[in-house]
């Protein structure tokens, strides 16, 4: 999970969003507990590995990091435990228990492997996990299993999704969007509704990790997909958000301007969102391989608040090219991860957006 770009964040678990200073405390932290994973997903950001890295944060370090999150203020961030596959860590239950005991709204994003049993899901429900996210990259086994690299994963994912709902947990479906999957959007939308998901999160593929081998959408193809999503959102029975496509906010505002959406703070890379990797590096985004610091040598709060990388990403006036001139730069600002992946410049314009600011202003 990464910065959610479909709309402004809802209140969850009683933690108020209004009044939160996003330069002091993130709204959401995604934490890569491990890079170990039994799948071989073609789009994997982390280029996941079969075995755990012995340099991973220890259980004691994990608990201390959770305590740092809890100490960030009266509204601590929501925590997403991801990977790799977090179920590869034998101390996952301990980490979840500590997170929930500290009052942190805790989500889990597992891979669908034989480790994800009904018993494990039931245990998460008893422990107080808020949401579990499952990836489905296409509405058929042909598409999804090819994408995930293991036959049978589609059927297992459907079973896991139904078990999550049956145990009273909130279900989120994650879908990777590239040329191999975009044609299935309408069928996927129907499947997400059928499964009873509360959220559908769409990851617009960036050429990092193994995803360099995939064909990302062009700017015009991305715009067409976002227009379809924006129109579908008006009747969808679930909340829809995007990752690596912040222009979805601009598209929605152009279709149906909303004073509520336009006036609330917006979560972006480095502003409201942070990523911690398996060895403690802190970055503005898991798809942006630039470490701003490491929690083994300095507190998370200091990295988030004061590192030059995080601070520059909170200054939209520093953006270059079309993103810097765009009237939507406050609510969008383009994907910094994609800009960096394709140009090497974290402040460059987002090449996946066709919007021309001069045309909009004329």
pLDDT given at position 171: 98
C-alpha–C-alpha distance, residues 80 and 106, integer Å? 6
Confidence of residue 257 (pLDDT cuts 50, 70, 90): confident
Flag whether 143 is in a domain.
yes
Is 1 part of any domain? no
pLDDT at 4: 58
Encode pLDDT of 15-34 as tens digits: 445 567 899 999 999 999 99
Does position 14 have pLDDT exceeding 90, yes or no? no
Over residues 33-39, the mean pLDDT reads 92
Q: What is the mean pLDDT of residues 246-252?
A: 96
- What is residue 139's three-state secondary structure? coil
pLDDT tens track for 143-182: 999 888 889 999 999 999 999 999 999 999 999 999 989 9
Q: Is residue 9 situated within a structural domain?
A: no
Encode pLDDT of 117-133 as tens digits.
Answer: 999 999 999 999 999 99
Question: For 137-143, which contacts have Cβ atoms below 8 Å and span 24 or more sequence positions?
Answer: 137/43, 137/175, 137/176, 137/181, 138/175, 138/181, 138/184, 138/188, 139/184, 139/187, 139/188, 139/190, 139/191, 140/184, 140/187, 143/180, 143/181, 143/184
Whether residue 5 has pLDDT greater than 80: no
In a domain, 122, yes or no: yes
Residue 299 counted as domain residue = yes
Number of folded domains that form the chain: 1
User: Does residue 345 sit within a domain?
Assistant: yes
Average pLDDT, the chain: 90
The mean pLDDT value for 262-279 works out to 87
State which residues form the domain around 245: 28-361
16 falls within a domain: no
Q: Residue 50 — left, alpha, or beta (φ > 0 → left; ψ -120 to 50 → alpha)?
A: alpha
- The C-alpha atoms of residue 85 and residue 112 are separated, in whole angstroms, by 9
Q: Is residue 3 part of a domain?
A: no
Phi/psi at 211 (5° precision): -65, -10
**What's the CATH number where 242 sits?**
3.20.20.70
pLDDT higher than 80, residue 358: no
pLDDT the model gives residue 11: 42
User: Band of the pLDDT at 56, cuts 50, 70, 90?
Assistant: very high
Indicate the range of 9-13, 243-247, 286-290 predicted with least confidence.
9-13
pLDDT at position 361 over 90 = no
Residues 347 and 170: their CA atoms lie apart, in Å, by 36
Residues 6+ apart with CB under 8 A from 357: 322, 325, 326, 327
């Amino acid at each position: 999970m990464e910065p959610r770009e479909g709309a402004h964040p809802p209140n969850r678990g009683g933690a108020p969003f209004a009044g939160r200073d996003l330069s002091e405390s993130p709204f959401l932290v995604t934490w890569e507990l491990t890079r170990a994973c039994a799948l071989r997903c073609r789009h994997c950001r982390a280029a996941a590995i079969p075995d755990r890295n012995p340099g991973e944060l220890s259980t004691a370090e994990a608990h201390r990091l959770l305590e740092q999150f809890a100490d960030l203020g009266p509204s601590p961030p929501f925590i997403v435990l991801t990977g790799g596959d977090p179920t590869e860590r034998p101390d996952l239950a301990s980490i979840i228990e500590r997170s929930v005991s500290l009052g942190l709204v805790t989500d889990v994003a597992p891979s669908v492997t034989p480790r994800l049993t009904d018993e494990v899901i039931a245990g998460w429900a008893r422990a107080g996990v808020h949401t579990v996210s499952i990836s489905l990259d296409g509405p058929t086994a042909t598409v999804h299993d090819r994408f995930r690299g293991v036959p049978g994963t589609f059927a297992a994912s459907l079973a896991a999704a139904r078990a999550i709902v049956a145990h009273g947990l909130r279900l989120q479906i994650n879908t990777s969007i590239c040329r191999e999957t975009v044609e299935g959007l309408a069928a996927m939308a129907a499947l997400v509704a059928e499964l009873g998901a509360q959220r559908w999160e769409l990851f617009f593929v960036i050429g990092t990790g193994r995803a360099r081998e995939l064909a990302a959408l062009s700017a015009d193809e991305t715009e067409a997909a976002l227009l379809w999503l924006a129109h579908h959102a008006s009747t969808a029975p679930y909340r829809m958000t995007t990752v690596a496509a912040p222009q979805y906010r601009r598209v929605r505002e152009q279709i149906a301007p909303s004073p509520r959406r336009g006036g609330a703070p917006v979560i972006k890379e480095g502003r409201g969102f942070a990523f911690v990797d398996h060895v403690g590096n802190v970055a503005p985004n898991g798809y942006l391989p630039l470490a701003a610091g490491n929690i083994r040598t300095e507190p998370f709060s200091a990295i988030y608040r004061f590192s030059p990388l995080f601070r520059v990403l909170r200054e939209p006036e520093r953006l270059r090219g079309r993103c810097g001139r765009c009237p939507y730069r406050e609510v969008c600002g383009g994907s910094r991860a994609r800009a960096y992946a394709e140009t090497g410049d974290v402040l460059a314009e987002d090449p996946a957006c066709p919007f021309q600011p001069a045309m909009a202003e004329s």
